[in-house]
Amino acid sequence: MAEFFLTKRAILDLLEIEKYSIEKWGEGQTDNYMSELYDAFGKIAQNPEIGILRKNRSFPFCMAPVGKHFAIYKTGENGIVIATILHGRRNIEAIINGLSHVLAREIDALDLNG
């Protein structure tokens, strides 16, 4: 069974999404949305090709919609690693370009192929 792993950046993104959502919509709706995100991560891990491959980049990545966000991830033999979670309204390409070295280090540290 394929698994998903989160980089430190992705964990920080989830904490920020949770904090913002609690302030904006309350705990009940936030709990539902966070569950939706984690369920989507599991589905992506089971079927990683559902994402859009963005390969002609300095940091090639896949992206798949999860709620109002996009999961930015890489695939490996043991599952997927979610590098970051970004809101769909943000300039995803520019953010990934700016974070590419950090995300690559965090993904390598998780060693999905070992």
Task: Give the pLDDT of residue 112.
Answer: 64
DSSP for the chain reads: --EEEE-HHHHHHHHHHHHHHHHHH-HHHHHHHHHHHHHHHHHHHH-GGGSEEE-SSSS-EEEEEETTEEEEEEEETTEEEEEEEEETTS-HHHHHHHHHHHHHHHHHHH-TT-
Give the chain's domain count.
1
Structure tokens at 86: 């970004």
Q: What percent of the chain has pLDDT over 70?
A: 95
**Model pLDDT, residue 25:** 95
- What angle, 0 to 180 degrees and rounded to 10, lies between the N-to-C axes of helices 8-25 and 92-110? 130
What pLDDT band is residue 114 in, cutting at 50, 70 and 90? low
The pTM of this model reads 0.89
CATH of residue 8: 3.30.2310.20
Token pair 């997927």 in the structure block, residue: 80
